[in-house]
Each structure stands twice: as structure tokens, then as C-alpha cells.
């Protein structure tokens, strides 16, 4: 039988909102779950006086708020702040709690750029493509990123991947083309062509690509893979004719073509 957890404190009438992710918390347990789920990508935004005030006034947990306030005043790191919350609620169990804190501690030791890259990787795995785009744009505003052409190319490629996976092929094509300006990479050029193929009829695409000699090496492969993927998905849709399965096939189509 699974362990039962007793709720601690009150349910908030006015929730707390993590502005970067637009996530709201009504209970301390929801906050604990968020910490555990985001352990690898948490940043210092969580350590705020507004959260401490929420814990005291909305959740009625004065003792915890005092502890967190003290940790904030003396400048303790994020993993100590999170550990105080998890220990107070006794969530999750001690073994898993130590694992969560260790992941937060390891993330704290990484350079800022690597932490931002991890955020985009995790959001991509979770299919939170809007968050991938937001994290990438935040990176592009940093001077230390702009000074590294290879890194800028990678960020634009990741932006393109997220846009393509949301069917925003025009935006994706722009990002892939931009990536190639900073670092010419065959795989990214191919993604750019695939997006253009999505945006055009076959006749329009053939006419357009005929004028792009720099893409001769990949244009034939793009046409062949596009048609193969399309036929595979059409066959699967015919064999599995339902709305849920149709959406699944669309997802597979995107991944077959773009990854």
C-alpha cells in the first residue's frame, strides 16, 4: 500500500504564481511536488520574500515561513531552502528527499549557461515547447551567449525544433536558417528544407529549391523522406481511424521528419 500523506496547513484562497512558468500553488503539498518535479532546473526565483509571505498568510504555516525567512536573510543556497520545505511537510520519503536535494545541489554547481541549457532540454522532453522557446530567447539576450557563435547556433536550432513541433513551420524555418548563419551544419540545413516543404506544394517547393544550389546535397533526401513519412502515416491513419490515434500519428509524423 502506498504511503498516506496528511495535508499540512490551509488551502490558499489566493494562489501563489511562479511567473516564469505560469504555475499556481494552492497548498504546500503542491509546492513540494513542484520542487521534486523541477529539481534539475530550479533556480533562485523560488527563494523569494513573496513565497515566504504566501506560506505564512495564505497557508498559515508561520513556523516554516520564519525558518525560510532566516535562510533567505543569511544567504543560504537554494538546496537548503528547498530542503527546509520538504522536511517540514515530510514529503517525499527520506530517501527520495535526499535524492531531490542532491539533484538541486548538483544543478547549483553548474555554470549559468549550462543550467539554462538543461532547462530547455527538460522542457523539450516534457513537450513544453512554449517554455523551450522562452528559455532560448532568454539565453539569446545574454552577452556571454552572443559572444559564442556555436552556442548561438545551437540555441537557434533548439528554437526551430520547438517551433516545428508546434507546427509553426515558418518560424522554424527562420530559426534553422539563422542557425546556419552562425554555424553551417548539414542536419540543420535539412531541417530548414523540410520546413519549407511543409509550407509549399510539391511543385512550388521544386521550383523554389531549384534556385538554391547550396541545398543540392539535401534536397533529394528531403523529398524522399517527406513522401515516405507521409505514406507511412496515411497508412496508419487508415488502419487506426479515430481522433486520438490521428493525433498520435501527427506527432509521429513530426518526429519522423524533423528528428
Domains and CATH numbers, the chain: 16-108 (no CATH), 112-258 (1.25.40)
CB contact burial 27-50 (16+ within 10 A = b; e otherwise) = bbbbbbebbbebbbbbeeebbeee
Most distant pair of Cα atoms in the chain: their distance: 70
**pLDDT of 202:** 85
Residue 1 is predicted with a pLDDT of 38
Q: d(Cα 195, Cα 85) in Å, to the nearest integer?
A: 46
Of 49, 48, 55, 25, give the one whose Cα is nearest residue 37.
25
- d(C-alpha 164, C-alpha 59), whole Å: 42
Per-residue pLDDT of the chain (259 residues), as tens digits, is: 355 555 788 999 999 998 777 789 999 999 999 999 999 889 888 999 999 999 999 999 999 999 999 999 999 999 999 999 999 999 888 999 999 999 999 999 988 888 889 889 988 988 888 889 988 998 999 999 999 999 999 999 999 999 988 889 899 999 999 999 999 888 899 899 988 988 888 899 889 988 888 888 888 888 888 887 777 766 666 666 555 555 665 566 566 555 5
pLDDT score for 165: 87
pLDDT at 236: 64
Q: Is 183 left (phi over 0), alpha (psi -120 to 50) or beta?
A: beta
Amino acid at each position: 500500500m502506498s504511503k498516506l500523506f496528511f495535508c499540512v496547513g490551509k488551502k490558499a484562497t489566493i494562489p501563489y504564481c511562479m511567473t516564469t512558468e505560469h504555475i499556481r500553488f494552492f497548498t504546500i503539498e503542491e509546492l513540494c511536488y513542484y520542487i521534486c518535479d523541477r529539481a534539475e532546473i530550479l533556480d533562485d526565483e523560488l527563494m523569494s520574500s513573496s513565497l515566504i509571505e504566501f506560506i505564512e498568510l495564505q497557508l498559515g504555516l508561520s513556523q516554516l515561513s520564519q525558518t525560510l525567512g532566516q535562510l533567505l536573510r543569511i544567504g543560504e543556497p537554494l538546496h537548503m531552502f528547498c530542503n527546509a520545505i520538504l522536511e517540514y511537510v515530510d514529503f517525499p520519503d527520506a530517501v527520495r528527499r535526499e535524492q531531490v536535494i542532491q539533484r538541486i545541489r548538483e544543478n547549483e554547481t553548474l555554470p549559468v549557461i549550462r543550467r539554462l541549457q538543461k532547462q530547455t532540454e527538460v522542457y523539450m522532453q516534457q513537450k513544453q515547447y512554449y517554455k523551450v522557446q522562452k528559455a532560448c530567447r532568454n539565453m539569446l539576450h545574454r552577452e556571454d551567449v552572443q559572444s559564442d557563435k556555436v552556442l548561438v547556433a545551437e540555441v537557434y536550432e533548439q528554437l526551430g525544433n520547438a517551433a516545428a513541433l508546434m507546427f509553426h513551420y515558418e518560424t522554424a524555418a527562420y530559426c534553422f536558417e539563422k542557425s546556419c548563419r552562425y554555424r553551417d551544419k548539414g542536419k540543420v540545413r535539412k531541417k530548414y528544407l523540410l520546413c519549407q516543404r511543409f509550407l509549399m506544394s510539391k511543385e512550388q517547393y521544386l521550383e523554389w529549391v531549384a534556385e538554391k544550389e547550396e541545398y543540392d546535397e539535401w534536397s533529394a533526401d528531403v523529398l524522399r523522406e517527406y513522401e515516405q513519412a507521409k505514406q507511412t502515416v496515411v497508412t496508419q491513419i487508415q488502419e487506426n481511424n479515430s481522433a486520438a490515434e490521428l493525433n498520435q500519428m501527427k506527432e509521429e509524423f513530426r518526429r519522423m521528419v524533423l528528428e
